[in-house]
């Protein structure tokens, strides 16, 4: 991969389409597994509901009915055995038994569902009518014993047998439901296990893809950082060479111009030309100084470097205050705690001067009045944090990172510059193991901040 392929904004990090596809497949497979399992288990719920709401109550009503038929048989036999002088409690007992038999049969009839059960319900109903007629003959007739033996006992036996047949039908239906539940559960478990295995296989394959893509991206990012470091080193060396190569001839030209203007009386018509030369020399000198400062910012920091933050900040403010007064900017500095920074005084001065100078430079393009710049210093556990806030035009959110790159400037600004100030700040702060960033709202201003390590207390 060539350095051109790794250029900022053009880094060839391919989208993770295989990873995205794998994740979609994992989600779909689990969703299908869950949905299909629910579909397979739905008949279990239906059959279990049929057992609990139909078969079990039906069996209970039929069992109660047969128990009441037995009570009825005993009461009728007692009545026949008593002859012409039965106890007063027997007849009401027979009626109460009939009420219970009819009530249980009615409740069962409301639950019966299959055609076979419906046919036997009719049969049981007919035999109950026959049993009722035989019971009335025993209770009302004078030939109680004959009616008992010839009519009542056979009718009772046929009625109980029909009720038993219905009971057997319901037991068979309940067993069929239970068998189907077991079969459905077994099939659902098997299919769910297979689908779960497929889902796990897809998940493992997706994890493998993720790891491969992450590894490829990490290698690509590492190569990108290596190329960037090489480019930055080349840029710093180039900037330093250009600045040194230009400084001497430009200095000679400036001296020659100064000598000419002092030794010879210039004609009035030549004065604007020499003034223009002076301005161009001054601008070129500013370019050289910016290149030199940028090149020096890449140098390795000296061990044991330290700077008094209050002292450096006061010096920077004293140097820039006349310029702030000219453009009518109000500068406020919050109380600064006594802090020593693990940074060379010159490097710290360059960081502060660039950030405060940048705020003063661009604040004139804002619409907020009065113009304000505020400097705040706070002490963190292992670092000092400095914030420079202004109410200038602000920075577009998409440009908040690119403005720290060399030769990057906002297209909307009208202020002169070379795009090296913030790049220099970034190099210095990172060289001293610090952090920096910006928060901004368009048309409302910006807050540039940086953190640099404090000098450990043990070093005092």
Statement to judge: residues 326 and 267 lie in one domain: no
Statement to judge: residues 260 and 343 lie in one domain: no
Statement to judge: residues 167 and 312 lie in one domain: no
pLDDT score, position 223 = 81
Range from 27-41, 51-65, 243-257, 303-317 carrying the lowest mean pLDDT: 243-257
Facing residues of 452 across strands?
384
Please determine, for residue 230, whether its predicted confidence score (pLDDT) is greater than 70: no
Please determine, for residue 283, whether its predicted confidence score (pLDDT) is greater than 50: no
Give the domain CATH number at 349: 3.30.565.10
Give the residue-averaged pLDDT of 71-100: 78
Q: How close are the terminal C-alpha atoms of the chain, in Å?
A: 50
Facing residues of 61 across strands?
none
**Which of these, 286, 280, 305, 208, lies nearest to 247 by C-alpha position?**
286
Please determine, for residue 424, whether its predicted confidence score (pLDDT) is greater than 70: yes
pLDDT score, position 450 = 94
pLDDT score, position 449 = 93
Query: What tokens were used for 423?
Result: 């790049």
Give the residue-averaged pLDDT of 8-16: 45
Task: Give 7's pLDDT tier (boundaries 50, 70, 90).
Answer: very low
Contact 445, 392 (CB under 8 A): yes
pLDDT score, position 247 = 60
Query: What tokens were used for 440?
Result: 């901004």
Statement to judge: residues 314 and 281 lie in one domain: no
Task: Give 280's pLDDT tier (boundaries 50, 70, 90).
Answer: low
Q: How many domains does the chain have?
A: 2
Statement to judge: residues 412 and 434 lie in one domain: yes
From 276, 297, 318, give the residue that closes a domain: 297
Alpha helices in 369-408 (DSSP H): none
Separation CA 155–CA 132 (nearest Å): 9
Alpha helices in 264-371 (DSSP H): 271-297, 309-326, 345-362
pLDDT score, position 371 = 86
Of the CA atoms within 13 Å of residue 30, those in its CB half-sphere come to 9
- pLDDT 10s digits, 368-393: 778 889 999 998 888 999 999 998 88
Give the domain CATH number at 216: 1.20.120.1730
Separation CA 62–CA 53 (nearest Å): 15
Statement to judge: residues 272 and 335 lie in one domain: no
Statement to judge: residues 41 and 189 lie in one domain: yes
Q: 190 burial class (0-12, 13-18, 19+ CB within 10 angstroms)?
A: exposed
From 251, 278, 297, give the residue that closes a domain: 297
Domain of 230, in residue numbers: 1-297
- Cα 303 from chain centre: 44
Instruction: Give the residue, 164 or 241, on which the prediction is more confident.
Output: 164
Q: 246 burial class (0-12, 13-18, 19+ CB within 10 angstroms)?
A: middle
SS3 content of the chain, % helix, strand, coil (to 5): 70, 10, 20
Give the residue-averaged pLDDT of 149-161: 85
Statement to judge: residues 44 and 106 lie in one domain: yes
Please determine, for residue 459, whether its predicted confidence score (pLDDT) is greater than 50: no
Instruction: Give the residue, 450 or 457, on which the prediction is more confident.
Output: 450
Give the residue-averaged pLDDT of 122-147: 78
Statement to judge: residues 355 and 261 lie in one domain: no
Give the residue-averaged pLDDT of 13-28: 65
pTM for this entry: 0.43
CB count within 10 Å of CB 92 equals 10
Task: Give 460's pLDDT tier (boundaries 50, 70, 90).
Answer: very low
pLDDT score, position 114 = 75
From 243, 277, 297, give the residue that closes a domain: 297
Question: In sequence order, what are the residues at sequence separation of 6 or more whose Cβ sits closer than 8 angstroms to the Cβ of residue 242?
Answer: 288, 291
Statement to judge: residues 49 and 113 lie in one domain: yes
**Which of these, 40, 43, 17, 37, lies nearest to 199 by C-alpha position?**
37
Owner of token pair 């189907």: 180
**Which of these, 153, 149, 160, lies nearest to 105 by C-alpha position?**
160
- pLDDT 10s digits, 329-354: 888 888 988 889 998 888 888 899 88
Please determine, for residue 217, whether its predicted confidence score (pLDDT) is greater than 60: yes
Q: Mean pLDDT over all residues of the chain? A: 76
Statement to judge: residues 115 and 41 lie in one domain: yes
Statement to judge: residues 3 and 86 lie in one domain: yes
């Amino acid at each position: 991969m060539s350095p051109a392929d790794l250029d900022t904004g053009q880094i060839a990090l391919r989208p993770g389409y295989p990873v995205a596809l794998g994740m979609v497949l994992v989600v779909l497979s689990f969703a299908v597994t869950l949905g299909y399992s629910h579909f397979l288990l739905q008949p279990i719920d239906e059959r279990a509901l049929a057992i609990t709401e139909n078969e079990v109550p039906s069996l209970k009503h039929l069992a109660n009915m047969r128990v009441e038929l037995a009570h009825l048989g005993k009461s009728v036999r007692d009545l026949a055995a008593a002859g012409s002088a039965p106890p007063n409690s027997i007849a009401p007992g027979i009626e109460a038994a009939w009420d219970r038999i009819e009530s249980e049969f009615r409740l069962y009839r409301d639950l019966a569902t299959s055609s076979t059960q419906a046919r036997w319900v009719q049969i049981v109903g007919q035999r109950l009518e026959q049993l009722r007629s035989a019971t009335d003959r025993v209770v009302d007739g004078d030939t109680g014993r004959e009616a008992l033996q010839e009519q009542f006992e056979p009718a009772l036996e046929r009625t109980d047998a029909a009720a038993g047949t219905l009971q057997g039908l319901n037991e068979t239906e309940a067993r069929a439901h239970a068998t189907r539940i077991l079969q459905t559960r077994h099939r659902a478990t098997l299919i769910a296990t297979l689908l779960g295995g497929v889902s796990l296989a897809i998940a493992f394959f997706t994890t493998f893809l993720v790891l491969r893509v992450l590894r490829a991206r990490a290698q690509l990012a590492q190569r990108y950082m290596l190329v960037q470091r090489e480019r930055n080193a080349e840029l710093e060396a180039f900037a330093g060479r250009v600045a040194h190569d230009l400084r001497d001839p430009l200095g000679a030209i400036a001296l020659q111009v100064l000598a000419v203007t002092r030794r010879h009386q210039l004609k009035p018509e030549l004065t604007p030309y020499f003034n223009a030369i002076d301005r161009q020399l001054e601008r070129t000198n500013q370019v050289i100084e910016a290149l030199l400062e940028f090149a020096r910012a890449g140098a390795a920091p000296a061990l044991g470097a330290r700077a008094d933050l209050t002292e450096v900040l006061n010096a920077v403010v004293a140097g820039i205050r006349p310029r702030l007064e000219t453009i009518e900017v109000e500068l406020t500095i919050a109380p600064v705690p006594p802090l020593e920074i693990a940074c060379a005084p010159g490097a710290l001065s360059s960081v502060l001067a660039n950030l405060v100078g940048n705020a003063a430079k661009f604040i004139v393009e804002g619409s907020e009045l009065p113009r304000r710049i505020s400097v705040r210093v706070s002490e963190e556990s292992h670092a000092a944090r400095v914030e420079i806030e202004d109410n200038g035009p602000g920075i577009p959110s998409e440009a908040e990172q690119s403005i720290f790159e060399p030769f990057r400037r906002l297209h909307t600004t009208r202020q002169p510059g070379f795009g090296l100030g913030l790049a220099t700040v970034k190099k210095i702060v990172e060289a001293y193991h610090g952090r920096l960033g910006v928060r901004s709202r368009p048309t409302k201003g910006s807050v540039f901040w940086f953190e640099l390590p404090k000098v450990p207390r043990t070093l005092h």
